[in-house]
Amino acid sequence: MGLFNFGKRTTNEKKINWEQLTGEEQLDGLIQSSHDKPIAFFKHSTRCSISSMALSRLENNWDLEEEQVIPVYLDLIRYRELSNKLAHELSVTHQSPQLLVVKEGKCIYHASHNQVDVEGIKQHL
């Protein structure tokens, strides 16, 4: 990889196939489906550079298979009420950026700011 390609994703690298969280019924369904497969919610503030770095770190290091976990992206600026509902439903304090791993309807792991990483997800699957 040359100097001008440093940090750029090549076409054969994996990307996260995010499910976009946009509604309350969808949120309820995802929490219910966590009884079958863990869900990794990433709450992202599109106005925050720390949140952008956490998102980039997840995307650059993502090596989980689709059958291991469902990755869900929440734009918490646009969907603030959903972010609040998610925090309430899972009994976690809202933070941004924030990663929540949900299994069997319960938050089994959460991280924020610089602690957001793929390894944290792996340890709790």
- Taking only the tens place, the pLDDT of each residue in 61-111 is 999 998 999 999 999 999 999 999 999 999 999 999 999 999 999 999 999
d(CA 88, CA 82): 10
- Domains of the chain (ranges plus CATH)? 16-122 (3.40.30.10)
- Residue for token pair 């304090």: 93
Global pTM value: 0.87
Cα 83 versus chain centre, distance: 12
Q: What is the pLDDT of residues 11-50, one digit of tens each?
A: 445 589 999 999 999 999 999 999 999 999 999 999 999 9
Reduced to 3 states (helix: H, G, I; strand: E, B; else coil), residue 41 is strand
